[in-house]
Amino acid sequence: MSGTEDVRVSGRPADGEPLLLRAFRILAAYRVPGESLTLSSLATRACLPKSSALRIATQLVELGALERLGDGQFVIGLRMMELATMAPRGYGLRSAALPYMEDLHRVTDQHVQLAVREGTEAVLVERLSARNAIVVAHRVGGRLPLDRTGVGIALLAVSPEAVLWEVLRSSEHAAGAAEHHRRVRQLVAAARRDGVVALTAANPIDVGPSEVTTIAAPIVDAQGQGLGAISIVQPGGQTGVNALRVALRTASLGIARAVAAKETRRTYRGGY
């Protein structure tokens, strides 16, 4: 992609802002996979003077966190991928979940997604997609709202009550907030009770069916702590949902056992 300039005006960083924060602002300037940005775009999106952006971007290139193309534009470097694979809540859970996700993918021929919670958002850490599956709004590594997506509701079901309060409070002044909050609480209660939840909503993408249904299940460890959530996204309403609910609930339990087994092996090896 080209490094189209953002319309937001660049400004100087706060006095005394640590270099590390400025570097993360530059890395966070990238918004879609494979995006390349000019120095001006980096500076604008990170709210840094061009001189500072160039100095920090050059250091990030030396470290492998960024790469500089022949035309002078910057892209995310492979070193970032290497580091991301070390994240236990993302790729650690992913490695345990993939066999179950692959089984669901083969049976349903639909999107199968895996997400974890970070603050008041869901982060999509993996998705298996069929060739003819519907177009979805979120990419791997992207962030999803907890209160408006099936996988988000599943994550809310195993989150502290304070997280639910914070999520609902963020939309308390929006139109239809009372009805939305009531619906979210109903769905969260269902997910807690049944270990799985189904949510049908308007398709956020302009192409494809008018409705999309997500069936999602939280992944919970033996101590009752939420590890993540797995979901299936299908076009239309809730036809065939009951069978998918059973399959997802079974998969979530299997993933939790696989994670526990990995932890046991890691502890065992660490004792010698």
Query: What domains, with CATH codes, occur in the chain?
Result: 19-83 (1.10.10.10), 88-270 (3.30.450.40)
pLDDT of residue 5: 38
Pairwise CA distance, residues 91 & 205, whole Å: 28
Q: How many residues would you count in the chain?
A: 272
pLDDT of residue 86: 66
| 181 neighbors 168 (Cβ within 8 angstroms) | yes
pLDDT of residue 7: 36
pLDDT of residue 9: 39
Pairwise CA distance, residues 58 & 61, whole Å: 5
pLDDT of residue 34: 78
Pairwise CA distance, residues 272 & 227, whole Å: 28
pLDDT of residue 104: 94
Alpha carbon separation from 247 to 104, 108, 120, 197, 256 (Å, rounded):
8, 10, 27, 12, 14
Residues of the chain with pLDDT below 50 are 1-11, 13-14, 271-272
pLDDT of residue 89: 62
| 100 neighbors 251 (Cβ within 8 angstroms) | yes
Distance of CA 264 to the CA centre of its chain: 27
H or E segment to which residue 153 belongs = helix 150-157
pLDDT of residue 202: 82
pLDDT of residue 102: 94
pLDDT of residue 50: 92
Pairwise CA distance, residues 185 & 181, whole Å: 6
Kindly report whether the global pTM for this prediction surpasses the value 0.75.
no
How crowded is residue 44: how many other Cβ atoms within 10 Å of its Cβ? 21
- Pair of tokens at residue 70: 């022949």
Pairwise CA distance, residues 115 & 151, whole Å: 7
Pairwise CA distance, residues 157 & 230, whole Å: 13
| 209 neighbors 135 (Cβ within 8 angstroms) | no
